[in-house]
Amino acid sequence: MAYLTLRGINKIYPNGFHAVHDFNMEIEKGEFIVFVGSSGCGKSTTLRMIAGLENISKGDFYIDGERVNDKGPRERGVAMVFQSYALYPHMTVYDNLAFGLTLQGVDDDVIEKRVQSTAAILGLTPYLERFPRELSGGQRQRVAVGRAIIRKVNIFLMDEPLSNLDAKQRVTMRSEITQIHRETGATTIYVTHDQTEAMTMADRIVVMKEGYIQQIGTPYDLYFNPVNMFVAGFIGEPPMNFAEAVLKNGKLELGENVIDLKPVADKAVLDEYEGKEVVFGFRPEAVKVGFAADADSYRIRCMADLVELLGDNTNVYVNYDGINSILKVDPHDSPEIDSAFEFAIPYGSVYLFDKQTEKRIKLRKD
Ligand code: ADP
């Protein structure tokens, strides 16, 4: 059995709302797992059931082989960091860090050592005598993380810990948390609605929607092999482009542009979907403009409606016969606004989905 096992976990709140449906997952010791999804999809509820802060309505939760459904947070050996820092305002950073250990009756000299080493990991050594009000948001969040790691627990749970920080601080703390994870080796479950945080921090990501797991996989898996349109659209920024079409003779008509799928898909797959509505997908960053396109790619003529220069790349909003897409291109290759131009989608960057079920259609049966 894995280190953490969630088997058929459900949450039905007292008002009857079914917030989490049949959550199944195994987590290995030391993994960094991120639960991601839009607000209200059940991430926090699942985390709180793991923490022991919310009872499990149905299903079994095991830590290291032991069923712990009926155990409280302390007995489970978890530490949790929340979105709000909840520091004690009248205590110094030192005392905020030391507080939990003091309550446990740990010796003062042990506390001193642990506070110093935790402060060193988090870069808080110069601030130990300060009060929370004398710290920046990022520093306060570090103290909150410090209070959790000082307890030397095996399992860390974090619920949107960076959402009160500004964009720059978030990027810094992101890498710091990853670093702390490397140093402590604690199994970590991290909740966020931000796909960039999920992609950059996770060993494995769990994508959730409306209380259901959509997919569990490495960042690489989710980006390149999404199981459905939701995951394909959620992971990646800007999101994957979609265009609906009916498959006719193995081809899709996107306005005047024709996508012949025969070179990229098995005949059996095309036969199965012949005459059916499908959704064609490609990522904004997969396209080529200018002279870089190779022969094995689809060419699409379009108009540039809007051009956003972001520095390292440019987002070009295009339309072709009423279909809207976003292309992420090198600023030097960017077309002029209101100009007609051609872009290319390499054969290997094409996705297809069943319009009815929104599931991915594998182009090759292997
Ligand atoms: P997330 O963390 O993904 O934003 P939550 O787990 O907080 O989502 O909530 C999932 C769903 O459960 C939401 O629709 C929310 O409104 C609902 N919910 C959360 N707490 C309660 C509660 N105590 N009683 C009833 N419904 C709740």
Per-residue CA distances from 31 to 115, 143, 158, 218, 265 (Å): 25, 23, 14, 11, 36
Model pLDDT, residue 145: 86
Residue 361 Cα, ligand 1 centroid: separation in angstroms?
32
The pLDDT tens digits for 174-212 are 888 898 898 888 999 999 999 999 999 999 999 999 999
Residue 331 Cα, ligand 1 centroid: separation in angstroms?
42
Mean of pLDDT values over 251-271:
94
Mean of pLDDT values over 5-13:
98
Model pLDDT, residue 22: 98
Give the residue, out of 9, 10, 12, 13, with the most ligand 1 atoms within 8 A of its beta carbon, to mutate for a pocket test: 13
Q: Which residue has the tokens 């305002």?
A: 89
Q: Residue 347 — φ and ψ, nearest 5°?
A: -50, -40
Mean pLDDT is lowest, of 51-55, 150-154, 344-348, for 150-154
Question: Which ligand 1 atom is at minimum distance from the Cα of 15?
Answer: 25
Model pLDDT, residue 85: 67
Beta carbon of 41 within 6 Å of any ligand 1 atom: yes
Beta carbon of 42 within 6 Å of any ligand 1 atom: yes
Question: Which ligand 1 atom is at minimum distance from the Cα of 191?
Answer: 2
Residue 160 Cα, ligand 1 centroid: separation in angstroms?
14
Predicted structure pTM score:
0.92
The pLDDT tens digits for 290-332 are 765 578 999 999 999 999 999 899 999 999 988 999 999 999 9
Retrieve residue 281's tokens. Answer: 């997908």
Q: How many CA atoms lie within 13 A of 215 on its CB side?
A: 21
* Pairing status of strand 32-36 against strand 204-209: parallel
CA distance 155 to 277: 46
Model pLDDT, residue 340: 95
Are the C-beta atoms of 10 and 58 separated by less than 8 Å? yes
* Sign of the torsion formed by the C-alpha atoms of 220, 11, 174 and 29: negative
- The set of residues, in sequence order, having a beta carbon less than 8 Å from that of 96 and lying 6+ positions away, is 87, 88, 132, 143, 146, 147
**Res. 3: pLDDT tops 70:** yes
Beta carbon of 13 within 6 Å of any ligand 1 atom: yes
Beta carbon of 19 within 6 Å of any ligand 1 atom: yes
Q: Which residue(s) pair with 353 in the sheet?
A: 279, 360
Mean of pLDDT values over 1-10:
93
Domains of the chain: 4-233 (3.40.50.300), 240-354 (2.40.50.140)
